[in-house]
Amino acid sequence: MSIGRYFTEMLDPSLSWSDVAEMVREWNGQFCLKGVMSVEDARRAAEIGCTGIVVSNHGGRQLDGSRAPFDQLAEIVDAVGDRLDVMMDGGIQRGTHVLKALSVGAKAVGIGRFYLFPLAGGGRDAVERALGLLRTEVERGMRLMGCASIGQLSGGNLRFRQRIQTTSDRPRRVPPTPEPPGRPER
């Protein structure tokens, strides 16, 4: 089976929130839902008992013009980060990307493509080298920010570009969303 066919057939458009709620009840343990891309879906996941979510657009395969997971992360963390663990998957290509996601509030990040390409090109040795480089970049970035631990990362480490709001006929500039006061350390 081709990878394209696999992903096409594995997606079940009939899956509903009540199906997910039933899975959560039957599992009766930690349950993480992947593919959350909106505050509304994040809140719904928390309400039905999920203990974690992965903010992910599944590599952009379904909607390649949609917002990236990182674009959604801050507002999702602000909405539900105190109720469940929020992780992010997608777009991680270097250590600074990991630091940005953790600074916004992700508890962890997924790095699927980051190691798949080295694996395909050079096997285990290439994956180990890539992961070593990623670790070095994370450690260097933390030192440059003056952070000795992941728990010291916060949104204050980042500068956000202005967002463009397009709710009317003409786009208009909207100031960046300010960092909420008193975000607890991880």
CB neighbours of residue 150 within 10 Å: 15
- Let me know if 58 is a catalytic residue: yes
Only one residue has tokens 């728990």, namely 151
Look at residues 52, 50, 60 and name the one whose alpha carbon lies nearest to residue 7: 60
d(CA 37, CA 177): 18
Catalytic member of 23, 43, 48, 58: 58
Tokens coding 168: 């009317």
Q: Which residues contact 46 (CB under 8 A, 6 or more apart)?
A: 80, 83, 84
User: Which residues carry out catalysis?
Assistant: 58
